[in-house]
Homo-oligomer: A and B are copies of this chain.
Amino acid sequence: MLIAASDHRVGRSQIGALVEYQGKFMQKSPFLLNGWYCAGWSEELDRQKIIGRRLLNMPIVIYRADGQAVALHDRCPHRFAPLSKGAVKDGNLVCGYHGLAFSRTGQCVESPFGDRKVPNAAVQAFPVVERDNAIWFWPGDPELADPAAIPEFAGLGDAKGRQGYLNLKANYQLAIDNLMDLSHIEFVHLRTFGGAGCFFEGQHETRKVSDTEIWSLWTMDDVQPPAPARAAFGDQRVNHWQDMCWRAPSNLSFDMGLVPLGLDRSSAPPRMQQAHLLTPETETSTHYFYSKEQQDEPKEFDMLKIAFEEEDAPMMEACQRNMGDNFWAERPVVLATDASAILVRRMLDKMIREQNSD
């Protein structure tokens, strides 16, 4: 009996072995399922054709069928081989172990042996959208996967060659904390951005736009320019700002700039805009995708790489190792500068609690 892919709605209601599996990870998760996560850069997929990657603790395979990105559960239901070890053929993903082929909906559509009967089997398919050089992945209810909800990031689409990746051995929430509380710059980034003391003289404000959008605004008026801007501004005092915006579940954008005293932000030329897209790999590791708008010199991107890989990451990873599994159970001391980070944690915790109580 041949079962055409089109006969099946693929998504939450699955067939065969997957129902069980789905039961394990779909109904309850330590992560927010209804949200867009970055699964990789388009350039990676151009290069590799097939990406096998653990996302939210699930093995996921990503490939393109007729130019369109597809995300499936990376586990053949026959012998559990990762489909990412297979090949794409006529828009289907063919398992590299015994040749079962799966359509973009996850339905098994071909079996090369024996009586040629196609088994009534499927792997879960996930909504996926390719936009702005990034592949966006939705692990939750497909009915709710609205591409319009994918956040915009200034410069992301033009950031070719200014995209980085870091495999962080820490929970993604530690990375959100790190970004929402930029006061760490004065201590962690001594070799790159920090050390000028701007943050000691500035104001910090938390602005909640909605339950899924929170800003952490650092305003430093009439300060010495930070180290990387010293070449352009010398000793001239400046108005400086660093604005970080979190959007649920864990995509952050950053806007940093400085202007001579008396000018307003719109006139700022050496402005830096970054995306920080944090996708849980496991509960203690994170795919940390970052990008930077194109306008600047390559060496500035190299400085980002040093800042993130050699300064931020070792610190976050040391905290993870030192912390145990449960942040709140450790009863962290809360400082005024934590306001934005704590608010994001509360929003995320609330949404995940609601999801898991259904």
Instruction: Decide if B187 touches A99 in the complex (CB within 8 Å).
Output: yes
Instruction: Decide if B331 touches A200 in the complex (CB within 8 Å).
Output: no
Question: Taking CB as reference atom, which chain B residue is nearest A202?
Answer: B113
Give the Cβ gap from A23 to chain B, nearest Cβ, in Å.
Answer: 12
**Is A199 engaged at the interface, CB distance under 8 Å to the other chain?**
yes
Instruction: Decide if B337 touches A181 in the complex (CB within 8 Å).
Output: no
Sorting the interface of chain A by its residue count into under 10, 10 to 19, 20 to 34 or 35 or more gives 35 or more
CB-contact partner of A322 in B80, B98, B330, under 8 A: B80
Chain B residues lying within 8 Å of A78, measured Cβ to Cβ, are 332-335, 338
Give the Cβ gap from A177 to chain B, nearest Cβ, in Å.
Answer: 7
CB-contact partner of A187 in B96, B117, B332, B333, under 8 A: B96
Question: Taking CB as reference atom, which chain B residue is nearest A174?
Answer: B79
**Is A91 engaged at the interface, CB distance under 8 Å to the other chain?**
no
Instruction: Decide if B113 touches A337 in the complex (CB within 8 Å).
Output: yes
**Is A155 engaged at the interface, CB distance under 8 Å to the other chain?**
no
Chain B residues lying within 8 Å of A113, measured Cβ to Cβ, are 183, 199-200, 204, 335-337
Give the Cβ gap from A232 to chain B, nearest Cβ, in Å.
Answer: 27
A111 to B181, CA, bound (A): 14
Copies of this chain present: 3
Question: Taking CB as reference atom, which chain B residue is nearest A323?
Answer: B80
A114 with B337, Cβ < 8 A, contacts A17-B331, A99-B186, A186-B99 known: yes
A187 to B78, CA, bound (A): 14
Chain B residues lying within 8 Å of A20, measured Cβ to Cβ, are 331
Chain B residues lying within 8 Å of A111, measured Cβ to Cβ, are 335
Instruction: Decide if A79 touches B319 in the complex (CB within 8 Å).
Output: yes
Instruction: Decide if A332 touches B17 in the complex (CB within 8 Å).
Output: yes
Give the Cβ gap from A98 to chain B, nearest Cβ, in Å.
Answer: 6
Question: Taking CB as reference atom, which chain B residue is nearest A108?
Answer: B333
A81 with B315, Cβ < 8 A, contacts A97-B188, A187-B96, A337-B113 known: yes
Chain B residues lying within 8 Å of A74, measured Cβ to Cβ, are 322
A77 with B332, Cβ < 8 A, contacts A97-B187, A113-B200, A183-B98 known: yes
**Is A30 engaged at the interface, CB distance under 8 Å to the other chain?**
no
**Is A142 engaged at the interface, CB distance under 8 Å to the other chain?**
no
Instruction: Decide if B97 touches A184 in the complex (CB within 8 Å).
Output: yes
Question: Taking CB as reference atom, which chain B residue is nearest A87?
Answer: B187
Instruction: Decide if A333 touches B181 in the complex (CB within 8 Å).
Output: no
Give the Cβ gap from A54 to chain B, nearest Cβ, in Å.
Answer: 10
11 contacts between A and B (CB under 8 A): A20-B331, A74-B322, A80-B319, A80-B323, A97-B184, A98-B183, A98-B184, A98-B187, A99-B183, A100-B335, A112-B186
A94-B187, A98-B335, A100-B335 provided; 16 other pairs, C-beta below 8 A?
Answer: A17-B331, A21-B330, A78-B332, A79-B319, A80-B330, A80-B332, A82-B318, A85-B318, A95-B187, A97-B187, A98-B184, A112-B183, A113-B183, A113-B336, A114-B337, A119-B335
